[in-house]
Amino acid sequence: MYSKILVLRFSTQTVHTPVVCTLVKKFDLTFNILNATILPRKEGVMVLELSGTKNNFKNGVQYLKNQGVDVKKASQEIKRNDKKCTHCGACTAVCPTGALYIQRPEMLVAFDQKKCSVCELCVPACPPRAIEIRPKTGMAFDFS
């Protein structure tokens, strides 16, 4: 199974096209929508985890591009200000993937970037505002 987290940007012309449904039906891909927003000028941004065979994944991404969807691979970045962090664990309570967890026996908050889905739920959950997660989208695809 091949899986990547993608950032899809829909123009005003493509925002109403059911492209995710087509990815399932035509390319036998599964998806998990992690975040989605329709911007004021009716452009859309969606962060999703897309999974399937490598060949179907590649063909599905090409289909999205052919439909006018801007497709970028998302990579995660977490920044934590260690001076502000109190290791209270509030961020671990909202992390749906277990990327943020309590390291025992030290009882310190740890982060496994490979598990991060860029959902950003931990950012507002952090009482001292010591944690920040953001997707970087300026990367090219590498299917090798």
- Digitized pLDDT (tens) for each residue of the chain, 144 residues in all: 788 888 888 888 887 788 889 999 999 999 998 888 877 677 888 888 899 999 999 999 999 999 999 898 776 577 778 889 899 999 999 888 888 899 999 999 998 877 776 667 788 899 999 887 665 644 444 433
Residue 138 lies in a domain: no
Look at residue 142 in the predicted model and tell me its pLDDT. 40
Half-sphere exposure of 39 (CA within 13 A, CB side): 11
Q: Are residues 93 and 58 both part of a single domain?
A: no
**53, 74, 95 — which closes off a domain?**
74
Same domain flag for 8 and 57: yes
> In this structure, are 9 and 69 located in the same domain?
yes
Domain with 90, as residue range(s), is: 77-133
Q: How many CB atoms lie within 10 A of CB 30?
A: 12
Of 51, 74, 97, which residue constitutes the final position of a domain? 74
Domain count, the chain: 2
Last residue of a domain, one of 31, 49, 74: 74
pTM (two decimals): 0.55
How much is the pLDDT for 140? 41
Q: What was the pLDDT predicted at 141?
A: 40
